[in-house]
Amino acid sequence: MSRIGKSPISIPAGVEININGNEVTVKGKLGELTQTISDGITVKVDEGNIVIERPSDSKPHKAAHGLYRSLVSNMVEGVNKGFTKELELVGVGYRASNQGQKLDLALGFSHNIVLELAPEVKVETVSEKGKNPIVKLTSHDKQLVGQVAAKIRSFRKPEPYKGKGVKFVGEQLRRKAGKSA
């Protein structure tokens, strides 16, 4: 828990950090993110690094120390590079298309699922002949892109027998043997 919190976060070029009381704002080329830090944990900027400190070695302070260090690190990485999640639609007739921020999914139901995405999340669909359709989600907010990806996956989770459904690219599924003859 505490080992993560002790390591400093280096600030890349083009990233600006503002600390106002218990609120940390990170601004970069891809956007701006804000995180409220709980009482007791202090955030300091010195010599191009962000250092997060805790007041004592109690268990809640140790846990919060590592948590806020990870959150601030993800904010810095997000506004600098961004985060991408890719989802693969496995199944006959499963299709995906997008019109701006509207994602249209055909997942074997009687109707298509139309999902309106937040403006911070950029969506792109790739459909090649002979390959499964892929939905690419990109954003500077790691939590938001993960939440949207989980929502899309929840519409049709991969089933264990044939593997049909919406899965993350590179995800290993636990397969089951079918009926014995």
Amino acid at site 170: G
- Give 131's Cβ-side CA count (13 Å radius): 10
Please report the pLDDT score of residue 181 as a whole number: 63
Name the token pair of 89: 């639609």
Query: At residue 54, does pLDDT exceed 50?
Result: yes
Closest to 94 (Cα-Cα) out of 162, 146, 5, 4: 162
Residue 1: predicted pLDDT: 44
The top-level CATH class assigned to 2-80 is: alpha beta
Residue pLDDT, tens place only, 114-124: 999 999 999 99
Going from N- to C-terminal start, the domains of the chain cover: 2-80, 83-168
Residue type, 18: N
**Amino acid identity of 21?**
G
Collapsed DSSP state (helix, strand, coil) of residue 138: strand
Torsion from C-alpha of 100, 101, 102, 103, nearest 10 degrees: 100
**Is the CB of residue 31 less than 8 Å from the CB of residue 83?**
no
Hey, do 2-80 and 83-168 end up sharing a CATH topology, with the first three levels equal? yes
pLDDT at 2: 57
Compute the residue count for the chain.
181
Residue 34: which of 141, 162, 157 has the closest Cα? Answer: 141
The pLDDT tens digits of the residues spanning 75-113 come to 999 999 999 999 999 999 999 999 999 999 999 999 999
Q: What is this structure's pTM?
A: 0.89
51, containing H or E segment: strand 49-53
Could you tell me the fold of the domain covering 83-168? Answer: Outer Surface Protein A; domain 3 (3.90.930)
Reported as half-sphere exposure (CB side, CA atoms, 13 A), residue 44 has a value of: 9
118: tokens are: 């937040």
